[in-house]
Every structure is written in structure tokens, then in C-alpha cells.
Structure 1
């Protein structure tokens, strides 16, 4: 049957500003970057990496990832229950047989719920996130911290008429296509979002 829903335009923004208390971690000659995991509904998430900076630099990124999407009130409520996971990582490049072989090491991580952003003044926050270090450091050494800003803007809702249909057992996607889902993102959105956010970061 026909289902009339209110559709809202949602704009999300995540800014990685700078880090501190990283010099106390034994890094050697390496680069630092932030890895973000953003929930996208249907138990899926998108992985995004910031630019790499030298661990011997001023530890300043000032890099922004942005996302614009459409969603119902149900999908907005679903988003509020999600968390963005931030990982502070170091990467070393080793020349082997004429090629630079690299791998990243997890230095610490932190989770920030979207609910905090939605319930804040003007629906935006900017704070020093304390990362839980993976290595055991001296108690006198402060844990690494990264200044992060997050912002959400929900525009006025508009009416959308669509045909509600049950999940078709014959559908090869087994529900992944979002044919019976109120998720903000459809299956096709995942790669598009990842590409769009990456381009914003350049």
C-alpha cells in the first residue's frame, strides 16, 4: 500500500583538527593518521583514513569529512544510536627489494556517539577526545588526545509518497538492497559515500 513519510535532508560533518600527547609514545620515524569508522545502517560501516602527517611535525590535520543524505525520522533515530569510532594509527615505510612496504599500528581508539552531537547546542561539538592507548605507558604520561569537531544539520522535512512492500523472499539481496528498510543509506550509498567523503578530504 502507499505510505506517506516525511523525508529530511541530513548533513553530517566530521573534522579532525590536531593531536597532542603523542610525542611521549615511542614512534620512531613514522607517520600518523586517523582512521574513522562511520555506521551506515544494516550493520554496515564505512572506513575513512585522514591524510598522513609526520610524527615529528606540529600534529596538525585540519581535515574535514562531510556527508549529505536523505532519511525519515525513523532513520534519523537509528543514526542517533550509532557511534563513530576513531583510531589513532602510525605507519612506517620500509624499503624492501626496491619497494616501500608499509603497515599501520594502532596507538589508541575512542568512540563518540552521534547522540551527543544531536543533543548538544546547535547540534555540534568540538572537544579533545582522549584515546585509550593500546600500549602500557608510564602512569605519569598523558594518553594521546585528538581535537575533533562533529556537526549535524537536519533540514525541513518534505512529504514523500512511496510504495511500501514486504521483503520478497525471492530477492537475491536478502534485504541488503534496502527494499524493506528505513535505513538512511541504501546499499548503493556505501561506496558513493566513501568516494564523496574521500574527495572532500583532499
Structure 2
């Protein structure tokens, strides 16, 4: 049996467009940081360029080519998420060094929602969970994103769709050890 026979490949394009409902009392820059599973409890991190808090538009995309076993790719598509963090950084440097960023809001998008759509893509405003409590009538922060999947995508095995938790009867022994998203990441600007 060919060792490449049980391999699956997919391509992913992730775009970060703009943000809204962001309130600021100080000057600084905004950016979005994204995390995706890379297997073995590792993550791949992407980050947009920093824009002024008055602009709030990035129009950036990230392209990925992913390779793994059919089992690990199915597990990622069924159980994995993309994490989006809206972050702020002060423009004031300390001893010539940039200051650490602060998390403003966070959201997770399940891969499954993209995989199960008829076109295998989504473009939405994702409402984020704010780190600060919001006053009555104030809308939570939102970021406009797009995710598009392509390539030789695996089918999600019945055992994974029927068993919601990964236990002894689950067929996806590589849920923790999948080898994804480590091949190719390139930053593109539209």
C-alpha cells in the first residue's frame, strides 16, 4: 500500500477585512492575530499589519497549504477552530522597543461551518467577546473575515460525526497529534 494513499491536502485562504464597534480613549494601533492548530498541541500564528485606531481596515489575506493524514485532516475539519484576537498596541515606545499588545476582544470560528457550507467558504462579520463589560446599548466589537477551503478535502468519517467527544470509541486517535498547517504560509495583500 502506498504511504501517500491515506494523505489529504487542503488549501485555505483567510482574509481579514475590517473592524467596527471599537471604542478608544487613547491613541495606538489595532491588529488582528489569528491562531490555527498545527498538531501536537502547536499553533500557527498570523498577524495583520497594525493600523491606526481611526482606520480599522486591513484588507489582508493569508494563504496556507496543508498536508496530513485523512484521519487528522478530518479531525481538524470536524473539531478545529480558527481563533481571532483583536489587539491594541500603544504608539509610545519604551527605550526604543514596542510595547506589548493588549487583547481587546476574541472570537472562534469552527472549521466545520466553512467545510459544511455549499461553497466551502464564508464571509461574515464575527461578533467578538470583549474583555471589558459593555454598557447597555453598546454593540460588541466585530471583525469582517473570510475563509475559503479548497483542495482534496477528506470526508468526515461517520464515527466522528456520531461521537461528539473524542473518547475510547472515537476513530480519530490523532485528534491531538494531527500534522496540519506547517507546510506553507504566505502573507498576501489584495
What's the counterpart of residue 55 of structure 1? 53
1:132-169 Cα offsets, whole Å, 9 max, x none, are: 11012212110110011011113388xxxxxxxxxxxx
1:42–1:156 distance in 2 versus 1, CA, 3 Å = closer
Find the structure with the greater CA-based Rg. Answer: 1
- Work out whether residues 31 and 52 of structure 1, in 8 Å CA contact, stay in contact via their aligned partners in 2: yes
1:184 aligns with 2:171: no
How far the C-alpha of 1:6 sits from its partner, in A, is 3.5
Which structure has the highest strand share of the two?
1
With normalisation by structure 1, the TM-score equals: 0.74
- Tell me the TM-score normalized by structure 2: 0.78
For 2:63 and 2:4, the matched residues in 1 are separated by 29
Counterparts of 2:118 and 2:104 in 1: how far apart (Å)?
Answer: 31
Between 2-11 and 123-132, report the one with greater CA deviation.
2-11
SS at structure 2 position matched to 1:183? coil
Matches within 5 A, 1:146-161: 146-155=143-152
1:34 counterpart (27, 32, 35): 32
Residues in 2 aligned to 1:48 and 1:35: alpha-carbon distance in whole angstroms: 6
Count of aligned positions: 168
Instruction: Name the structure 1 match of 2:157.
Output: none
Q: Deviations over 1:72-101 (max 9, x none)?
A: 32122121111111000000132444x244
Q: Gaps spanning 5+ residues in structure 2: where?
A: 155-175
Quote the Cα distance in structure 2 between the aligned partners of 1:156 and 1:137: 41
Structure 1 pair 64/4, CA: closer, same or farther in 2 (3 Å)? Answer: closer
The answer for the alignment partner of 1:86 in structure 2 is: 84
User: CA 1:142–1:75 in structure 2 vs 1: closer, same or farther (change >3 Å)?
Assistant: same
Measure the CA separation in 2 of the matches of 1:26 and 1:62: 21
Give the whole-Å Cα distance in 2 for the aligned partners of 1:122 and 1:144. Answer: 27
CA RMSD, 1 decimal: 2.5
1:142: which partner in 2?
139
Please report how far the alpha carbon of residue 2 of structure 1 lies from its aligned counterpart in structure 2 after TM superposition: 7.0
In 2, the alpha carbon distance for the partners of 1:32 and 1:135 equals 16
